[in-house]
Amino acid sequence: SQELEQSPQSLIVQEGKNLTINCTSSKTLYGLYWYKQKYGEGLIFLMMLQKGGEEKSHEKITAKLDEKKQQSSLHITASQPSHAGIYLCGADPISGNTPLVFGKGTRLSVIA
């Protein structure tokens, strides 16, 4: 079965600094999703990547997909306290409607 490994597991950054979270798949990626979860709440969809080399941005968050490496990275520029939370990646095991597989999450804290 497919597994997603996220790194780092947790991250503490100073406000204003840039950071990157990685998500590596054990199998071919057909679709990669990024979510954010505020502590104790549900997940909020951030963006989806489908094609190798694809890059998407939402405000100060940019995600890229490297199909060959079976990896996606999430980059936050000039972090703010509002960026704090748990970031999870999810992937389609195969193309279609099978349930998503999730990484274990990266806990981000932003300190002033």
Partner 1 sequence: DVKVTQSSRYLVKRTGEKVFLECVQDMDHENMFWYRQDPGLGLRLIYFSYDVKMKEKGDIPEGYSVSREKKERFSLILESASTNQTSMYLCASIQRGTSLYEQYFGPGTRLTVT
Label residues 88-104 b or e (16+ Cβ within 10 Å = b): bbbbbbeeeeeebbbbe
Site for partner 1 in 57-86 (CB under 8 A): none
Residue 89 in tokens: 């990646």
CB-CB contact of 2 with 66 (8 Å): no
Q: Which of 49, 65, 79, 105 binds partner 1 (CB under 8 A)?
A: 105
Stretch that binds partner 1, among 55-63, 65-73, 75-83, 96-104 (CB under 8 A): 96-104
Contacts of 20 (CB under 8 A, 6+ apart): 73, 74, 75, 76
**Least distance to partner 1 from the beta carbon of 88, Å?**
7
Binding mask 15-54 toward partner 1 (x if CB under 8 A, else -) reads ------------------x-x----xxxxxx--x-x----
Of all helices (H) and strands (E), which one includes residue 8? none
Contact footprint for partner 1 (CB under 8 A) = 33, 35, 40-45, 48, 50, 88, 90, 97, 99-100, 102-105
